[in-house]
Homo-oligomer: A and B are copies of this chain.
């Protein structure tokens, strides 16, 4: 029932020594600080009896290190980010770090606020899934020499550490997969975004069409606003279906789009894959529940998260000065939603 916190001073008093001695002993610096055997074990004993727990605030204030990582993501309630957050939490703990998570809602202002709040808390480093238009924030971090690693998204014209899925390749593979399965008029719904990862997904889609001698039609590609995903996805699908060369397959370029898109396809009583083939980005248990399991591009979440933490830790420890730019391959999980009538 030690309501009162036990400090070094308490131990020092009880052992009749200075706090310095206690600090040395409890930090395992007996050798370096030439501490006597008996007094050392006495101190340890007392610390144990009093259940001493060091005050991290004091230690951090002194050392300038908080052993805390700030994780900035779009939204923790999105399963992709939640999974990543979980991985990062675990990996950070392994490395002796605590994680503070903040949701930016894909909004540069919120992201800036978040960074400011975390900065005040003297956080040691950041893992950031950048929001749109947050390039100068990132540039700022670079200039202030604050350790950070970009995750999942990066800026091609900012030279900095990142760990990301190869979005281009993933989209290319997804599109080619549909083509291989006999689909020809393949549409994509993506976010209207300046973010490079979105652009890359679109590029991958278009290049695959091109390389496979499918000539792209403008109505096939629709971009929706993040803040109006639901309505705009519906509109997009409507128009993709009624176009002259209406699509026979759809690629959802993101989890949020997929959820809304699939829901709408249900409403329209369209059958997947008979009426429409589907490949989606993002991953979630929910995809398993669709009557027809959805083919999706599985990002290497575990590896992404772990690598991000490791890179960051190395950076924070000053063990690494070079820039690491890592692209990982997504795995196409092929299931029924992308299988044609013929192929089955």
A residues touching B (Cβ–Cβ < 8 Å)?
Answer: 1-3, 53-58, 60-61, 66, 75-79, 82-83, 85-86, 89-90, 93, 98-103, 116-117, 119-122, 143-145, 259, 262-263, 266, 284-291, 293
Contacts and interface: CB of A to CB of B under 8 A. Distances in A.
Contacts of A76: 76, 82, 85-86, 89
A122 B286 contact: no
Given A56-B121, A100-B100, A289 B259 contact: yes
Contacts of A57: 57, 60-61, 66, 121-122
Nearest to A70: B98
A290 to B, nearest CB: 5
A55 B120 CA distance: 6
Contacts of A286: 284-289
A76 to B, nearest CB: 5
A144 B1 contact: yes
Q: Name the residue among A2, A86, A259 with the largest chain B CB count within 10 angstroms.
A: A86
Contacts of A101: 85, 89, 99, 101
A60 B121 CA distance: 10
A284 B78 CA distance: 10
A109 to B, nearest CB: 14
A122 B86 contact: no
Given A53-B120, A289-B290, 14 more contacts: A3-B145, A55-B61, A55-B122, A56-B122, A57-B60, A76-B85, A77-B79, A77-B82, A79-B79, A89-B103, A99-B100, A262-B289, A285-B286, A286-B286
A4 B254 CA distance: 40
Given A3-B144, A77-B86, A101-B101, A56 B120 contact: yes
Given A61-B57, A291-B291, A98 B117 contact: yes
Nearest to A101: B101
Contact of A289 (B1, B75, B93, B289): B289
A93 B78 CA distance: 19
A24 B287 CA distance: 57
Contacts of A121: 56-57, 98
Contacts of A293: 266
A126 to B, nearest CB: 14
A89 B66 CA distance: 21
A197 B83 CA distance: 25
Contacts of A66: 57
A118 to B, nearest CB: 8
A285 B259 contact: yes
Contacts of A58: 61
A266 B291 contact: yes
Contacts of A90: 103
Contacts of A54: 120
A4 B315 CA distance: 19
Listed residue (A98, A259, A266) with the most chain B CB atoms within 10 angstroms of its CB = A98
Contacts of A2: 144
Contacts of A79: 77, 79, 82
